Amino acid sequence: MDAHSLNNATINELLSIFDQIYTHNNLLVLDNKLSPIINFLLPFKVFKQRAKFDKITLSDSINHEVIQQYQNIIILFDEDTPISIPEHARVTIIIKNLTKSRLYELNQQYHFGLSFDEIIENKLDMVRAKTLKIYNWQFKGIEVDPDIISLQGSLAQYFDEPIYQVNQLANALVNLVDKFNIKINSTYAQGSNSNIFTGLYENKLQEHLAQKYNNLQQEFYSNHLTPTHNLVVIERNLDFLPVMMSQLNYVGLIDDLVSININLVKIVNDQGKEEQIKVEDELFENLKYLNFSLVGPKLNKLAKWIKNQYTNNSSEMNLKDIKKLVSSLTDLNRQQDLVKKHTNLSENLLNKVKNGGANRYNEYEIVLEFENEVFQLTYKQQISKLLEFLDLNLSARTIINSLVIVSTINSGIRSRDYEQIKQQAFENYGITIIYQFEKLFKYCLVRLSDVETLDTYTAGVTGGINVHNNNYTLLNKFWNLHPEEQEDDQEINGIEDYPHPSFALPSATVPLTIRVIESLFVRDFLTYKPINKITKQPSWQNLGLDKMFKGKVSETIGDATVKNTILVFVGGITWSEISCIKYLNHKLQARELNHQFVVLTNSIVGNRQFGDSLQ
């Protein structure tokens, strides 16, 4: 599957809309959230030439005097961004993944004159309303990382509109099946939202096949076409610790400390000025999944090698050597530039770590120390640490993340301790953090251990539910979430050299999501209660997932020879989990199982994105 070709299809879909728009003397108002996506898909200079607009302004820097100068205005916004429509101009609106509910809201706000029936029956390709037109940019995913396809949604949507996210993912999977001639073989789904996803996907696929093929072709597809991929569906509710904890892989650390927007990172340069750099080079591909502790030594080693290459080339050379040098100089210069760029980026990260935040403490180091020892601390010690963070006036983000971690590990927090934490947090940060605490309870990320609660949620209707039937101690033992580190002198050159997928999170933590996926293929990590696989096909048989976790667990097992797997992460995936999936790829290849994973998800998430979801 050439997932990268999705990027061309996505930008071409947008350009085809611009081809239908009047292009003389027009202004494009672009949503800030969409700016990095478009720049990733097509450089702005090329985009402007092909879309044929005269001027562009970003949504957060709109100059109303400039707006007044244009009679034709194009508004290109994300699906949930509020829109302000100028009255003096001819307006064209393009919305990423326009929905009927969104169209209804705009119709109510700006009195487009559309009846309710017209909205319900509309196919949403193009909507004509009074003096304006509304287009739907059907965004079916882009490859943001090799074999990682993202719909660029938000974590807030998963909590508040999970069915919308599930529906978008189902549409995206049907698009993949159609574009790459995929036929799903075996299907594995864990959780209520995951099973709703598989049901939606099956219905949408049948509708698609009925529209595209005649009866004979449909019969061939269903009964005779060779299956190509397995499907595994996991939902975010299963494990929020990777979202809350600091990420230790290079790319995850970048996202936590300075944020990475697809391929753009903001750093402070040698002159002390903020600049934006692209990180999509071959050196970054070799480093990004590794634990950050290995990045500095590897950069130093590479810098010394490049220096030696230049030194060796300065000695006497014959004509053949000179020709070879001339052909390699470009590569050496490029390698030197890449080493300099990533050394600068690494130093920026270290400065963030060492210099702390707005207060006088090195907050990141304090948090990392806590996360590295939290699983060995008693409950009382964990609460003491939380109160210490409040005394130090660390960021509200740190307090919230730590509260969720402590609650997860202990299956809740005692009422008396919570009231003390809440009171001090209110004194430190004001009423806002109390509202955020309430959301943590609403999403079942924090609960009171000494107050009996009833599960009142409707399965599959919310992204915020507690799905663990067992406490964390039992889950940790069974799934071996903190494997013992082996003392050896093996050099780590790539992620395949790590003994366990525990290198991307503090406390040598393996994400539960990864263990559940890994158990489909191999189970050698189950040391507490060994359960062998009894079939060649991927399987969860005999693991008792339905007893450990709430929500339906379903398996439909097909041909054992299929070696490609689509992993659907409902609610987003972290960079730490992506590193672990890359590790699992190598592990299976080493055992000649040769499975290739492609990830389809709503978004890349982490504690930064989680903080945004609480706003």
Sequence length of the chain is: 615
Burial class (CB in 10 A: 0-12, 13-18, 19+), 332: middle
DSSP 314-371: TS---HHHHHHHHHHHHHHHHHHHHHHHHHHHHHHHHHHHHH-SSSSS-HHHHHHHHH
Distance CA 475, CA 69 (A): 63
- What is the predicted pLDDT for the residue at 84? 85
pLDDT of residue 85: 83
Strand partners, 448: 413
Domain holding 321, by residue range, is: 271-288+290-355
- Residue 23: Cβ within 10 Å count: 14
Counting beta carbons within 10 angstroms of the beta carbon of residue 577, is it exposed (0 to 12), middle (13 to 18) or buried (19 or more)? buried
Residues 113 and 41 in one domain: yes
121 and 40, same structural domain? Answer: yes
- Which residues are CB-contacts of 162 (< 8 A; sequence separation ≥ 6)? 193, 460, 461, 462, 463, 570, 571
* pLDDT value of position 458: 43
| Domain contains 261 | no
Single out the residue in 102, 137, 172 at which a domain terminates.
Answer: 137
229 in any annotated domain: no
Domain-embedded: residue 246: no
- Residues sharing a CB contact under 8 Å with residue 564, sequence separation 6 or more, in sequence order: 1, 228, 229, 230, 595, 596, 598
Report the pLDDT value the prediction gives residue 461, as an integer from 0 to 100.
47
Domain edge (last residue) among 88, 118, 137:
137
- In this structure, the answer to whether residues 377 and 323 fall within a common structural domain is no
What is the pTM for the complete model shown?
0.92
- The answer as to whether 166 is a domain residue is no
Q: Nearest 5 degrees, angle CA 100-CA 153-CA 461? A: 65
**What pLDDT score was predicted for residue 509?**
97
Q: Are residues 369 and 431 both part of a single domain?
A: yes
Pairing assessment for the beta strands 184-190 and 553-556 based on DSSP bridges: antiparallel
User: Within a domain: residue 13?
Assistant: yes
**Do residues 16 and 88 share a domain?**
yes
Residue 296, H or E segment: helix 295-313
- Give the model's pLDDT for residue 488: 64
Confidence at residue 467, expressed as pLDDT on a 0 to 100 scale: 78
Give the model's pLDDT for residue 457.
Answer: 43
Same domain, 99 and 46: yes
392 is a domain residue: yes
- Provide the token pair at 381: 């010690």
Distance CA 433, CA 402 (A): 14
- Report how far residue 106's alpha carbon sits from residue 577's, in angstroms, rounded to the nearest whole number: 38
pLDDT mean for each 10 residues of the chain (615 residues):
90 94 84 93 92 88 80 90 83 91 87 83 78 89 94 92 93 95 94 93 95 92 92 95 97 93 83 84 91 91 80 58 52 84 90 66 90 97 98 95 96 96 97 96 92 53 69 94 79 88 97 97 92 87 91 87 94 97 93 88 95 90
Q: What is the CATH number of the domain that holds 69?
A: 3.40.50.2060
Specify whether 10 is located in the same domain as 129. yes
Q: Is the same domain home to 423 and 333?
A: no
What are all long-range contacts of 589-595, with beta carbons under 8 Å and residues at least 24 apart?
590/496, 591/522, 593/521, 593/522, 593/563, 594/563, 595/521, 595/563, 595/564, 595/565
**Listed residues 92, 117, 137: the one ending a domain:** 137
How high is the pLDDT of residue 306? 78
* 415 and 301 in a common domain: no
The pairing of strands 72-77 and 90-96 is: parallel
Q: Does residue 216 form part of some domain?
A: no
Same-domain check for residues 391 and 435: yes
Residues 118 and 23 in one domain: yes
- 114 and 27 share one domain: yes
Number of domains in the chain: 3
Domain assignment of residue 314, yes or no: yes
